[in-house]
A and B are shown apart, each in its own frame.
Chain A
Amino acid sequence: MTPAKPETATIQTISPAPKAKRMSGAQMVMEALAEQGVDTIYGSPCGAVLPIYDALHQQKKVKHVLVRHEQGAGHAAEGYARSTGKVGVCLVTSGPGATNTVTALTDALLDSIPMVCISGQVPTFLIGTDAFQEADTTGITRACTKHNYLVKNIADLPNIIHEAFHVARSGRPGPVLIDLPKDIQFAEGDYIQKDNAPIHFYQPRTEPDMDLIETAVEMIANAKRPVFYTGGGIINAGENASKALTKLVRDTGIPITSTLMGLGAYPASDKQWLGMLGMHGTYEANWAMHDCDVMICIGARFDDRVTGKLSAFSPHSKKIHIDIDPSSINKNVHVDLGIVADAGKACEALHQVWKARGFKLDKPAMQNWWKQIEAWRSVKCLSYKNSNDVIKPQYALEKLRDAIAKDGRDTFISTEVGQHQMWAAQFLPFDKPNRWLTSGGLGTMGYGLPAAIGAQMAHPDALCIDVAGEASILMNIQEMTTAVQYKLPIKIFILNNQWMGMVRQWQELLHGERYSQSYSESLPDFVKLAEAYGGVGLRARTPAELDDVIDQMMKTDKVTIVDVCVDQKENCFPMIPSGKAHNEMILSADPSQYDKKLV
């Protein structure tokens, strides 16, 4: 007996698998970028990426900024990433387009900036034949990316793009390159949405081991001279990490210093802030590092510019190192306690345990420690001898600082590389994360202008200033045109000393005042140059002119170059000379104070 067939019950109503959208590889790129939340990309077209540029032209979600040199695209993507915390994206052609990005990729790798670079490549069937504009891009960039891909099959493309974003932003962030042959850009395939893409096994640990956190908190609680030493890891861990750090530092009452990369994670206006540490760091920060008994390093990596002479680095301290990258722990300096974790989660955990267990630091010991720190502070290591006739670079930055404070707009500062960069780090206060964009690890001259472009694109109403040197700015000056095209009112504040000042300083101090090739015998007229590009040019020759010029600069609605003619011979102090320890720093610009016998 067969049961009566129910009318509908056996008809299974499986909702059909979402029908994959068919599209070309080039369209997949645009689709995936939009899905990954990218609103702006930076690049320059040519043969091997034309299909992508065609797809770009036919959509509205992703904006494109046409740069004048692919290095500029890379740094602009970095500026965008650092000022927003999102992944920066650049799009370049094969061969020279790709090789031009190598400096920017290396820069992003060393500073742990999340970035995806899509490069065109000759068609798969021409790879290896020395075709026109062919370069072994994945080979060249293997050492300067966190990871890279050569896409050989259209079926792999959507997953690779989603994976690239995942890799770029997870763990210790970094640049990822996708090399995309032209035939794959044309090929049709099934698009896979972000949420349907397979989950990659690369899932770095972010949660701290709570037992280790307890140990760390106990070490801190027993300290008599503790110091926090933080870095770019806090910034990379997001705004909440800065908040968690600030709470932790305030509630423990411990002094804090940070690396060049970490400026802004803790408010510089706070009284527990010691200023930046390292080669050109403050006296109080470096001495505190040297004399502390417990060092809590979070999201920094004991770089040689921070430690000085390794064997004399903070000789009496127990060291706690919290980093998301296990390879950073015990790399340069042996630490007593290493914790692998996201900087923000670690700060929260430390704070929570500190509160839960009701710890308080030894009050008399801390009073002594702060008394000592105040004594170091009273040295006023950043003081300089001002002048009525010639603009001191430090004075110019103090004026800039005051103008920014008065202006009140949200402000993003980028820099080039040299003395001006160090002075900017010393003299401009950063109270919030993501506002300070500087090439720390690689020290790339030419970084500041394109980085400011990325920041200004992401924050159209903000004040974006590139503190520059006259030598550095010339390394990517072509991006002035980009700034004009997109109506970006970036201010380029050149501390023009006519020298490669940082080079000159070392030659003076370490090479017997033999100034080999560090003077720029010819320089452009920066005012005319700005005007030639379609921007505004201003110049300040004397301290008296400075206020007015800065005033004008603040009001311009176009890219503006301010040529500040500063003292040619000013040196950047304090300075820890070569191979010396934190407690052997040269303090003052007074030549009698530094030891010329060094040479």
Chain B
Amino acid sequence: MVRKKKFIEQSVYGTGPAEIQAQSHTLSILVDNEPGVLARVIGLFSGRGYNIESLTVAETDDVNNLSRVTVICSGTPMVIEQIKHQLDRLIPIHRVTDLTLEGAHVERELALVKVNSQGEKRIEALRTADVFRARVVDSTHESYVFEVTGSSAKVDAFIDLMRGLGMIDVSRTGVAAMSRGAKAI
């Protein structure tokens, strides 16, 4: 405590702001599909100390050469506003939409889960997969690869269950998101 006080008095920067509850926001970003764009987005987050929880990117418009990035980030309302403005400042970024603020939207994630087990566990894995509407996309005598889609919470739950059933590998895409209703971003 003494040291903290000393820091406050000696540092020209004073103290940081009081802790405010962080929120998660889902952003949809339309960018030029050119080399380095992803590095710019990620560099912005790391350089300014913002938190990324999930990031997905792929080309979505090959006529206009655009990619869509979906980012889930967390921060105080002021930080979230900054993140959006800072993203908007990047030259190759066409548009930033805050799906969390825009209203209802759907979020989906896909995961591939490899399970290595025999006997009762193998059967239980298959049964659980059925409950989660996961599909078997590869199988050997010892293993399955399941493909599961849904909200991140559902994917989390599936992975949790599979952990006890011989899960040895997971690959997740991160969240893809879109607003509900008739409007595009």
Query: CA of A147 to CA of B89 in the docked complex: distance in angstroms?
Result: 10
Name B44's closest neighbour in chain A (CB-CB). A143
A contact face: mostly helix, strand, loop, or mixed? loop
**By CB atoms of chain B within 10 A, which of A310, A325, A579 has the most?**
A579
* A401 at the B interface (CB under 8 A): no
Q: A326-B85, A327-B85 are in contact. Are A578 and B10 (CB under 8 A)?
A: yes
Asked if B36 contacts A138 (CB within 8 A), the reply is: yes
Asked if B12 contacts A330 (CB within 8 A), the reply is: no
Contact indicator per residue, chain B 9-29, by CB within 8 Å of chain A (1) or not (0): 111111101000000000000
* B164 at the A interface (CB under 8 A): no
Query: CA of A527 to CA of B86 in the docked complex: distance in angstroms?
Result: 48
Q: Which residues of chain B have C-beta atoms less than 8 A from A309's C-beta?
A: 14
Contact of B47 among A143, A331, A506, A598 (CB under 8 A): A143
Sorting the interface of chain A by its residue count into under 10, 10 to 19, 20 to 34 or 35 or more gives 20 to 34
Asked if B43 contacts A202 (CB within 8 A), the reply is: no
Q: Which residues of chain A have C-beta atoms less than 8 A from B82's C-beta?
A: 327, 330-331
Name B36's closest neighbour in chain A (CB-CB). A138
**By CB atoms of chain A within 10 A, which of B14, B35, B90, B92 has the most?**
B14
Name A163's closest neighbour in chain B (CB-CB). B91
Name A167's closest neighbour in chain B (CB-CB). B91
Asked if A201 contacts B13 (CB within 8 A), the reply is: no
Name A309's closest neighbour in chain B (CB-CB). B14
* B40 at the A interface (CB under 8 A): yes
**A161 → B minimal CB distance (Å):** 15
Contact indicator per residue, chain A 354-374, by CB within 8 Å of chain B (1) or not (0): 000000000000000000000
Asked if A304 contacts B35 (CB within 8 A), the reply is: no
Name A512's closest neighbour in chain B (CB-CB). B10
Contact of B13 among A146, A331, A579 (CB under 8 A): A579
Asked if A142 contacts B40 (CB within 8 A), the reply is: yes
Q: A143-B43, A330-B78, A330-B81 are in contact. Are A304 and B13 (CB under 8 A)?
A: yes
Asked if A578 contacts B81 (CB within 8 A), the reply is: no
Asked if B35 contacts A150 (CB within 8 A), the reply is: yes
Contact indicator per residue, chain B 24-48, by CB within 8 Å of chain A (1) or not (0): 0000000000011001100100010
Asked if B85 contacts A142 (CB within 8 A), the reply is: no
In this complex, how many residues of chain B approach chain A with their Cβ under 8 Å: the count is 26
Contact indicator per residue, chain A 307-348, by CB within 8 Å of chain B (1) or not (0): 011100000000000000111011100100000000000000
Q: Which residues of chain A have C-beta atoms less than 8 A from B94's C-beta?
A: 201
Q: Which residues of chain B have C-beta atoms less than 8 A from A21's C-beta?
A: none
Q: A138-B36, A142-B43, A150-B36 are in contact. Are A327 and B13 (CB under 8 A)?
A: no
Query: CA of A270 to CA of B84 in the docked complex: distance in angstroms?
Result: 40
Name A578's closest neighbour in chain B (CB-CB). B12
Contact indicator per residue, chain B 73-104, by CB within 8 Å of chain A (1) or not (0): 00000100110011011111010000000000
Q: Which residues of chain A have C-beta atoms less than 8 A from B12's C-beta?
A: 279, 304, 506, 578-579
**B124 → A minimal CB distance (Å):** 48
Name B13's closest neighbour in chain A (CB-CB). A304
Asked if B9 contacts A334 (CB within 8 A), the reply is: no
Q: A150-B36, A325-B89 are in contact. Are A578 and B43 (CB under 8 A)?
A: no
Asked if A579 contacts B15 (CB within 8 A), the reply is: yes
* B185 at the A interface (CB under 8 A): no
* B137 at the A interface (CB under 8 A): no
Report which A residues bind B (CB closer than 8 A): 138-139, 142-143, 146-147, 150, 167, 200-202, 279, 304, 308-310, 325-327, 329-331, 334, 506, 510-511, 578-580, 598-599
Given A327-B85, A579-B15, A580-B14, 15 new contacts (CB under 8 A): A139-B39, A146-B91, A147-B90, A150-B36, A167-B91, A201-B94, A304-B12, A309-B14, A310-B14, A327-B82, A327-B89, A331-B78, A510-B10, A578-B10, A579-B14
Which A-B residue pairs are the 10 nearest by beta carbons?
A: A579-B14, A327-B85, A147-B91, A578-B12, A326-B85, A510-B10, A327-B86, A143-B47, A309-B14, A579-B8
